[in-house]
Structure 1
Amino acid sequence: MLLPYHQLDFIEAGCDEAGRGCLAGPVVAAAVILPTNFDHALLNDSKQMDEADRYVLRDIIEDQAIGFAVAFVDHEEIDRINILNASFLAMHKALDQLQVRPGFILVDGNRFKKYQEVPHACMIKGDGRFFSIAAASVLAKTYRDDFMRAIAPEHPEYHWHTNKGYPTIHHREAVLKHGFTPYHRRTFRVTDPQLDIIFESAVFSDQ
């Protein structure tokens, strides 16, 4: 059951990211401030929801939220600073864009880089436990999916319209056959678990 985490003396923002484990594309983060009385039966960890329900909820969240923002960190920056720091950077960028300054931040996961002087709490599996984090997960996931669908026609052989850049068997095989695209993360290793072979990024040529 999802719960609010509101205290009486601060405004809470929930943060989450999408795309951390992908081979291609950006990492996307969202920050959401919900009203204290917000509730919706469909709201859950975005990974546990149907795609159609995520888009229904995105409209509801954006309509009813006190504040929300979405931020992207691209694949080149991910390679430069690593995916963990890129995830923190995306969350900070989203927090920078909020229309209302939060007094407290709830973050999905077990690690976070302090944002300014705002206190925070890390919540393992928080996207399945707290409304504000779940709402942020929905926004991050849907905006990243939109981006991957938009670039998918540039490189249709990778099937980003369905796998969204995640390391599916088909995606790994496509990288082995066709090499990296300009959207791939070069510091990530491409592994085919069926063949138990690790293909280092240096093997693949640009396309």
Structure 2
Amino acid sequence: MDKIERELREKGYKFIACVDEVGRGCLAGDVVACAIIMPKEIFIQGVNDSKKLTVKKREQLYDKIIDTALAIGIGQVKPHIIDEINIKESTRLAMRDAILNLRDKSGNKIIPDYILVDAETIPINIPQSSLIKGDEKSYGIACASIVAKVFRDKLCEEWGNSYKGYKIEKNKGYGTKEHIEAIKKIGPSPIHRMTFLKRIL
């Protein structure tokens, strides 16, 4: 447990949910958030910001985190909603839904009494702290970043099979040169964020 969580527990907070998102800057696919409550007595070695881990290491840690977590919630916002309300509001909505979807291993709903979130403010009536580079400062946020990333990467494989030609399973929806050229050649798919494509099309 890191210093931030330890101080919160000393103040009496029991269920501290840590929240992070992935897919904010993508041209295609959902923005995904994970909320997670980790036990105070177990620390998984190797947990770090998901962007700093290899795919293999991320997946290994994902399994350990899923097995260890007291509660996990996932929130997703679809591309057409992102186009309607913008990516910032969509990210906050995904984070809020992740909190509302928190369940323990038995499927019971868990309501946290405090939230630690990576560089954002969640529109929910629960005390919270926003941490810049939270996935580097908070063990729990790093766990959330890993779960969100692996969860979304699995979605990208499904999208890649459903919408051929964009290599979404490879680029994860980000604006790589190959991805942009495919959009110009065959046009956008139903999961592309049209507001993100204005400079391309």
Q: TM-score, normalised by structure 1?
A: 0.87
Which residue pairs with 2:78 in the alignment? Answer: 74
1:106 is paired with a residue whose SS is: strand
SS of 2:4's equivalent? coil
Indicate yes or no: 2:25 matched with 1:26: no
Counterpart Cα distance in 1 of 2:139 and 2:145: 10
Q: What residue number does 1:41 align with?
A: 45
Q: CA RMSD in A?
A: 1.4
| 3-state SS in 2 of match to 1:24 | coil
On the 8 A contact 2:95/2:122 being kept in 1, the answer is no
2:115 to 101, 105, 120: 105
Q: CA deviation at 1:180?
A: 0.5
CA contact (8 A) 1:26 1:75 kept: yes
Count the aligned residue pairs. Answer: 190
Is the aligned partner of 1:171 residue 2:179? yes
- SS state of the match for residue 36, structure 2? strand
Name the structure 1 match of 2:128: 120
State the distance in 1 between where 2:148 and 2:164 align: 23
CA positional deviation for 1:4:
5.0
In 1, the alpha carbon distance for the partners of 2:175 and 2:121 equals 25
* Equivalent pair of 2:44/2:64 in contact (CA under 8 Å): no
Give the Cα separation in 1 of the matches to 2:41 and 2:86: 38
* Number of the residue aligned with 1:187: 195
Preserved CA contact (<8 Å) 1:4 1:131: no
Q: Secondary structure at the match of 1:156?
A: coil
Distance in 1 between the 2:144 and 2:122 partners?
A: 17
TM-score by length of 2: 0.90
Deviations 1:36-95 (A, max 9, x none): 123122200001111111111111111111111112111111111111111111111110
8 Å CA contact retained: 1:4, 1:36: no
Distance 1:137 1:4 in 2: 19
State the 1:189 CA deviation. 3.1
Which residue matches 2:59?
A: 55
What is the DSSP-based 3-state SS (H/G/I as helix, E as strand, rest coil) of the residue aligned with 2:62?
A: helix
**Residues 23 and 185 in structure 1, CA contact (< 8 A), matched pair in contact too:** yes
Identity score, percent: 37
Report the Cα distance in structure 2 between the residues aligned to 1:65 and 1:4, rounded to whole angstroms. 19
Aligned to 1:14: 18
Task: For residue 112 of structure 1, report the CA deviation from its aligned partner.
Answer: 1.1
Please give the per-residue CA displacement for 1:181-200, whole angstroms capped at 9, x wherever unaligned. Answer: 1110011136xxxxxxx32x
Aligned to 1:94: 98
Contact 1:30 1:137 (C-alpha < 8 Å) held by counterparts: yes
The CA distance in 2 between the partners of 1:19 and 1:176, in whole Å, is: 21
* AA aligned opposite 1:26: D
Give, in whole Å, the separation in 2 of the partners of 1:46 and 1:35: 20
Check whether the contact 1:4–1:132 (CA below 8 A) recurs between aligned residues. no
